Amino acid sequence: WDKLYGESSDGTPLVFNDQYISTGGQFYEILSGHDRFVADIRPLVFRVLDIEENLSAHPYDVCCALILEEAGCIVEHPDGSPLNCQLDTTSAVNWVAYANPELADHIRPVLQSVLGRLVG
């Protein structure tokens, strides 16, 4: 966070962990302007931590990404590539959503740097 915006002057981080119940709900938060950036990287983190994958997003969870894209939001794989997942009911999906291209351009390099260190 410090790489993006520096430290908060009052010591309170300007970011929070939102345990929203569904990918659709997270997409709505981006679309409505309540959130500016959301990343669901559970499958990646589970793999790095050698944890058996349990609860993560699936292709049917991200099927409405086109709605966000048509509204000018960016939905993509955490590495910046287009979201392109197997069309089944079992594959785990990593995804990142940004409210607009400017935020994506600002946040993406830092996210990829952090993820690069995470996955080695």
Taking only the tens of pLDDT, the chain with its 120 residues reads 667 766 666 665 555 566 666 898 899 999 999 999 999 998 998 888 888 877 888 888 899 999 999 999 999 999 999 999 888 888 899 999 999 999 999 999 999 999 999 887
CATH architecture of the domain 2-119 equals 3-Layer(aba) Sandwich (3.40)
pTM metric for this prediction = 0.84
Q: How many CA atoms lie within 13 A of 69 on its CB side?
A: 10
Residue matched to tokens 């500016």 = 36
Task: Supply the pLDDT for residue 55.
Answer: 80
Closest by CA position to 59, among listed 40, 72, 74, 79: 40
Rounded CA separation 66/46 (Å): 27
